[in-house]
A and B are shown apart, each in its own frame.
Chain A
């Protein structure tokens, strides 16, 4: 036996079992936490809520007496849970960065929030020329890896092998970390080629 309550979700009255209601609340709360740093979070949550309400009233119209736990689960799965977004965001960001390194569209694609990676010094094995030391340092200092690479090159050529020694030591000492995770390999190829292409198109802009 289950209690059924009526809730008002974005202007729609929906009959829902009380356990399903708790599930729904939990789900929306998890979304709210996930989007906490997003600029238009209230709007996003409102949009999602009204979409949920729409899906629910569709179910009721089709003859369901009330919304059950299973219905809430189904809706949450189709909308996506915060865990699912993580993967999609990574895909999206690598896609955006490959687009921006490939040449144009400087302003728009970069307006997105920077990828959230844990701070700490490491070697970035997903973006490397030799050992990923430079890109790891760049990620730590939050600057472009190219700057660190150029500095390292200057130190190496001007510093009687000092830079070379430092690089080898860092290579050994720093832990490796594949920042792009499962998608890393494929994207790194794209990114690198984009980098080469980006240099050419950047020079092309001068003439």
Chain B
């Protein structure tokens, strides 16, 4: 999960509900209520930073972006995933974790 979120944010500043939409498009379902705590956790771990962006309707929105530490964490996760992927050869599609890895890999391509 973190990996998917980080990889979306890595490509540019992101608004939480856009992240949910993107993940849905990649067939990964996450509830917004689960995403916010994750983002806050990652932010408190200094992996993410945010800035307020004025929106044309109502109060400003929070846009998240990756910090250097987040970038390092992302690379580390990527390696771990690659290793797990090698091990499982991504063949056993019945396993949810594998499914997640496979769809993440597809998603990144």
Contact = CB atoms under 8 A, between A and B. Distances in A.
Contacts of A99: 77, 80-81, 84
Contacts of B95: 186-187, 189-190
B16 A11 contact: no
Contacts of B33: 31, 48, 79-81, 84-85
A98 to B, nearest CB: 6
A87 to B, nearest CB: 10
B34 A105 contact: no
Given A80-B31, A84-B33, A108-B45, A47 B16 contact: yes
A111 interface: yes
Contacts of A38: 37, 40
A53 B39 CA distance: 19
A51 interface: yes
A100 B81 CA distance: 10
B32 A88 contact: no
B24 to A, nearest CB: 11
B58 A88 contact: no
A48 B62 CA distance: 11
* Size class of the A contact interface (CB-based, 8 Å): 35 or more
Chain B interface category by residue count: 35 or more
A162 to B, nearest CB: 37
Contact of B97 (A11, A88, A98): A98
A194 B98 CA distance: 13
Contact of B80 (A31, A54, A102, A186): A102
A193 B17 contact: no
B76 to A, nearest CB: 5
A158 interface: no
A95 B100 contact: yes
Contact of A88 (B16, B30, B59, B98): B30
A59 interface: no
B1 interface: yes
B31 A92 contact: no
B41 interface: yes
Interface of A: 10-12, 31, 35, 38-40, 43-44, 47-48, 50-51, 53-54, 57, 61, 78-81, 84-85, 88-89, 91-92, 94-96, 98-100, 102-105, 108-109, 111-112, 183, 186-187, 189-190, 193-194, 197, 201
26 contacts: A10-B59, A11-B58, A31-B33, A40-B41, A40-B43, A44-B37, A47-B36, A47-B62, A50-B59, A53-B59, A54-B61, A57-B58, A78-B31, A78-B32, A79-B31, A80-B34, A81-B33, A89-B34, A95-B97, A95-B100, A99-B77, A99-B84, A104-B76, A108-B76, A109-B2, A187-B96
A-B complex: 3 closest residue pairs judged by Cβ atoms = A80-B31, A80-B33, A40-B40
